[in-house]
Structure 1
Amino acid sequence: MWTHASWQGRLLPHPLPAGERLRAYATWCNAVEGNTTFYATPARSAVESWAGQTDPGFRFVIKLPKTITHERRLTGADEELRAFLDTMEPLGPRTHALWIQLPGSFGPTDLGALAGFLRGLPRSHRYAVEVRHRAFFDDARSARFLERALAAVDAEWIPFDTTALFQRPPTSDAERDAWTKKPRVPRRSSALTEHPIVRYIGRDDTAGTVEGWGHWIDTVVEWLREGRSPTVFVHTPDNADAPVLARRFHDEVRERLPEVEPLPEPMPSEPLTLF
């Protein structure tokens, strides 16, 4: 996400070498979704560059490759998993969680495969699972079985809240595209671990996005008061202003809990000059 085209020269300096773009993004936000790893395991040198551009406290939530989650459906992927974990090793403590996003067809009858896969993972990492099968949201028994499988290894259930997106018909091309691709499931906001992770997508208009995240402001404040350490990712269909919105969300939480540390000052989008 730190190479998003619409941010270059507007929110982030442009031009910037590829090896400096994450460093600039990290002055806006202190966490990032590692989404590109879903499509292919990157070169280890690229991961070393990510580590070099961020402080040890920066949070990466890294998605497992689709060869493991979607093609092999968590079965018989030991070699691919070992290669992926070895490649991610340079991130060290920056790997906040490894993100197991499962396809919409992965339902309650597949929980045995998930439980076995989770039991076989090294305990050196934290894990978080995102499910999209409707039964996990509509059927209490299926939800309980999933929670038990996750609790057995202290893994988190990542909610992807799309309720604001689907609250009214789309009004932009990006929203229309999101309507065809994003899961339409009920909101879920129960934390299983001390490190809950939330993915929230609003609308392309700021007012709709801000209106829709009120529930999460309340929830995150409650989690923080309980001593949890949540990570929240704010999206819109076009993501044009996502870093600005993420900082606004953080500021609204700090209005309720001033002891929460502020985010760093963003790097100027224009190059600094001597005159």
Structure 2
Amino acid sequence: MTMRLHVGCAMWTLKAWQGRFVANALPAGERLRAYAGWCNAVEGNTTFYATPTRETVATWAQQTDPGFRLVVKLPKRITHERRLTDVAADVRAFLDAVEPLGTRAHALWIQLPGSFGPDDVPVLSGFLRRMPAEHRYAVEVRHPGFFTDARSTAGLEAALENTAAEWIPFDTTAFFRSPPTSDAERDAWSKKPRMPLRTVALTERPIVRYLGRDDDDSTVEGWQGWLDVVTAWLREGRSPTVFVHTPDNADAPALARRFHDAVRARLPQLEPLPDPEPVEPLTLF
């Protein structure tokens, strides 16, 4: 069996990447392809704001290999506005829209609001049981009770394990260790959740979201514990996906590859990442 670690970022296009990681002024239909030369996974955050058209999703599939992983977030209308209740029509529309991804839809990501607490787990259980079995599901919770109360932790884990769903930790512990030092960090300081660290995998395909700092060395220092966890998961036969965030995300593609390189230094049998295409420098003529 091939040992494979997937790594990626919170998005596949960012102005700060142009001319560094990807070519300048790429058309929309080429941006994901260029990003996929750096990373083999990406968070599908845009679908949180609206269900895309099938035609748009088909272009994502066309730009990536079948082994590329998109963790696609369910729209906020389903998770935040309706809180998983009376959403059958919205879910059908979303599932139809993302169908062109095929195996690239690594997991459907159910990010729940901070107000969705332990008492709401039966709603989540019912929702997951009604979802089609051909997809994998991964749930991100932000209510503190799920992390600080052992009974609530166990209750959520049981609900997820009953439907083979994963629990996505969003590790912000390194970010919140010291006060912000940039505008991007100050903005993230007020918006990102402060959740206790969780490093438990429920399925064979765990997913981690990690938030570092705008200083690369601080980001690398903060993920050292994850190198141990991810290496252990791979040795157990799991196939993890790790998303590296920083407040400005300016260096995120390189950092994601750096994480992969650090794991591969421990596990040389790990399949390498693709080689990025060289980026031509911007010229004046």
Query: Equivalent of 1:156, from 148, 162, 166?
Result: 166
Residue 100 of structure 1 aligns with which residue? 110
1:135 pairs with 2:145: yes
Query: Equivalent of 1:89, from 81, 84, 99?
Result: 99
Structure 1 residue 267, shift from structure 2 partner: 1.5
Give CA deviations for 1:124-180 in whole Å, capped at 9, x if unaligned.
000000000000010000000000000000000000000011000000011111111
Structure 1 residue 4, shift from structure 2 partner: 0.9
1:44 pairs with 2:54: yes
1:54 pairs with 2:64: yes
- TM (norm. structure 2) is 0.94
Residue 8 of structure 2 aligns with which residue? none
Identity rate, percent? 72
Deviates more, 1:9-18 or 1:71-80: 9-18
CA distance in 2, matches of 1:4, 1:213: 23
Structure 1 residue 271, shift from structure 2 partner: 7.1
Residue 4 of structure 2 aligns with which residue? none
Residue 147 of structure 1 aligns with which residue? 157
CA distance in 2, matches of 1:261, 1:270: 27
CA distance in 2, matches of 1:134, 1:80: 28
CA distance in 1, matches of 2:246, 2:281: 28
CA distance in 1, matches of 2:281, 2:72: 31
Give CA deviations for 1:68-100 in whole Å, capped at 9, x if unaligned.
000000000000000000000000010100000
Residue 277 of structure 2 aligns with which residue? 267
Q: Which aligned pairs between 1:223-234 and structure 2 lie closer than 5 A?
A: 223-234=233-244
SS of the aligned residue for 1:270 comes to coil
**Which runs of 5 or more structure 2 residues have no equivalent in the other structure?**
1-10
CA distance in 2, matches of 1:151, 1:212: 29
Number of corresponding residues? 273
Residue 12 of structure 1 aligns with which residue? 22
CA distance in 1, matches of 2:275, 2:165: 33
CA distance in 2, matches of 1:271, 1:99: 37
CA distance in 2, matches of 1:163, 1:41: 31
Structure 1 residue 43, shift from structure 2 partner: 1.3
| Superposed structure 1 runs of 4+ greater than 4 Å apart | none
1:78 pairs with 2:88: yes
Larger RCO, structure (CA 8 Å, separation 6 or more): 2
**Which runs of 5 or more structure 1 residues have no equivalent in the other structure?**
none
